Amino acid sequence: MNETHFLNCRHNLLQLMEEGVAIITSAPAKIRSNDTEYSYRQNSDFYYLCGFNEDNSILVLIKTHEFTKTILFVEAYNEDHALWNGARLGVEGSRERFSVDEVYASAEYSGMIKELLREHVNLYIDLYCDSPRIIEAESAAQALHSMRGIKRYVRSIRDISYLIRSLRLIKSDEEIAIIRQAIAITAEAHHEAMRVCQSHMREYQLQAAMSYIFLNSGAVSEAYGAIVAGGNNANTLHYIDNRDELHEGDLVLIDAACEWELYASDITRTFPINGKFSDAQKEVYEKVLEVQLRVIDAIKPNVKRDWLQNYSEELLCDALIELGILVGERKALIEAKEHKKYAPHGIGHWMGLDVHDPCPYVDESGESLAFEAGMVMTIEPGLYFRADDESVPERYRGIGIRIEDNILVTEEGYENLSEMIVKTVNEIETMCQN
């Protein structure tokens, strides 16, 4: 990602801020067990603003009526750390690499924070983050309040995350290019899973085939824990056990995708383990696919997200009526939430630096947001019929199907960024038999 992108992001955030100081901290390194750590994942809000990927760093944005200033605190270069864990960029390296105004060692933060907050009235922090650096800033504000000679002091502590996440809603061309790359690798992995799948394999073996593609393509991290759910396991929405045997005649639902330069992709495909849909599987599959295509086709600027959700529920309810699973009038069935039993989750979510991008879904007044060019979301209708559900005709029991793509809103309407991943019955059967 180009340095200009991060400069723009900070500029946009400063525009949204009133006079004051914003403090955004990096994610802490996390212990997995004893002395082994999880692989490091940066705080998305922090990364969005500066692209720095090390822990123990702090970004400070200052806005006065006269000027703005960006300060980055980074962990100093350390020989020992370089030997064991690899070299940190350090203060000098960061000065050269980042277009921030000033860089200091993180160790200097505690001694400087009071001075940085002096004469400011707004302190912007992530209100829901318990970083010790943020607590230090709050204490510094308190100390300043009772100090002699201070004319202005912090009078409000405000949430910076909301502002950052409002900006994260609209992706720049560079961000979209990175998401496309994540999706390209994920596409290859889904196709590989279809090609290698055979009955009697274990779910994790399909996962391994996909992981190989991810890693071999340089995508060292999944965007979320993969779901590889054979047969009835697909009806457990967040099934991540992935250990069961794949059975002849069942479908397998795979919700798995990689991250590229910290940007997510999020793709689900459901296909027959033996490469051929049964009649019952095909009936349900084609209903879900039709719903997905129609919902995607309704996406364009100014359509409200709420409306899209309701529209998708109507279509899913119609599908359930057509399959003979629900009986009655659509309106009454939806009011009674009858469809929710078989289609329990929402139609999709924002996607970006986080797979579930935590951007707002409503505006300041609580009204559902309308789509704008540059927004990226998933569209993922599903129908789930548990094996033990006697309210469903026997032929459909144990079938769970979800189809998920990643959609970019454009000026003209939309672009399905994951269009290259096969999804019609014919395309899937051909890929499986490859």
Binding mask 3-32 for Mn ion (x = CB under 5 A): ------------------------------
Nearer to Mn ion, 215 or 237 (CB): 237
Contacts of 116 (CB under 8 A, 6+ apart): 21, 60, 62, 71
Binding window for Mn ion (CB under 5 A); candidates: 12-20, 51-59, 276-284, 376-384: 376-384
Interaction between residue 378 and Mn ion (CB under 5 A): yes
- Identity of the residue, 50 or 182, whose beta carbon is nearer to Mn ion in the bound complex: 182
312 scored as a contact of Mn ion (CB under 5 A):
no
CA distances from 296 to 34, 117, 367, 376, 395 (A): 47, 48, 22, 12, 29
Q: Which amino acid is at 105?
A: A
In the bound state with Mn ion, the residue whose beta carbon lies nearer, of 232 and 418, is 418
Question: Is 101 among the residues known to form the active site?
Answer: no
Minimal distance, residue 42 CB to Mn ion, in Å: 21
Determine whether 145 is an active site residue. no
Q: Does the active-site annotation cover 402?
A: yes
Q: Please state, in angstroms and rounded to a whole number, the distance separating the CA atoms of residues 237 and 219.
A: 25
Within 242-387, residue ranges assigned H as helices are 279-297, 305-322, 330-335
Q: Which stretch binds Mn ion (CB under 5 A): 134-142, 210-218, 298-306, 378-386?
A: 378-386
In this structure, what DSSP letter does residue 184 have? H
Strands 20-25 and 122-125 come out as parallel
Phi, psi of 278 (to 5 degrees): -75, 170
Per-residue burial over 66-102, b = 16 or more CB atoms within 10 Å of its CB, e = otherwise: eeeebbbbbbbbeeeeeeeeeebbbbeebeeebebee
- Name the minimum Å distance from CB 268 to Mn ion: 7
Task: Report the run of H or E that residue 114 belongs to, with start and end.
Answer: helix 109-117
Map residues 209-248 to x or -, x wherever contact with Mn ion holds by CB under 5 A.
----------------------------------------
Q: Contact with Mn ion (CB under 5 A): which of 266, 357, 405, 429?
A: 266
CA–CA gap between residue 173 and residue 291 (Å, rounded)? 29
| Nearer residue to Mn ion within complex by CB, 126 or 266 | 266
Specify the stretch interacting with Mn ion by CB under 5 A; choose among 127-135, 157-165, 262-270, 304-312: 262-270
Three-state secondary structure call for residue 348:
coil
> Is 414 designated active site?
no
Look at strands 405-409 and 376-379 and give their pairing: antiparallel
Known catalytic residue: 349?
A: yes
Q: 404, 405, 414, 429: which one is catalytic?
A: 404
CB 255 to Mn ion: min, Å: 7
By CB under 5 A, residue 354 contacts Mn ion: no
Residue from 48, 263, 285, 384 carrying the catalytic annotation = 384
Tokens matching residue 382: 């599903």
- Which residue, 285 or 350, has its beta carbon nearer to Mn ion? 350
Q: Containing H/E element for 164?
A: helix 160-168
Q: Which of 402, 405, 414, 429 is catalytic?
A: 402
Q: Residue 386: how many CB atoms within 10 A of its CB?
A: 18
Out of 35, 79, 130, 364, pick the active-site residue.
Answer: 35
For Mn ion, how many residues bind (rule: CB under 5 A)?
2
**Catalytic residue selected from 75, 203, 259, 380:** 380
Q: Is 35 a catalytic residue?
A: yes
Residues that bind Mn ion (CB under 5 A): 266, 378
Which residues are catalytic, by number?
A: 35, 238, 255, 266, 345, 349, 356, 380, 384, 402, 404
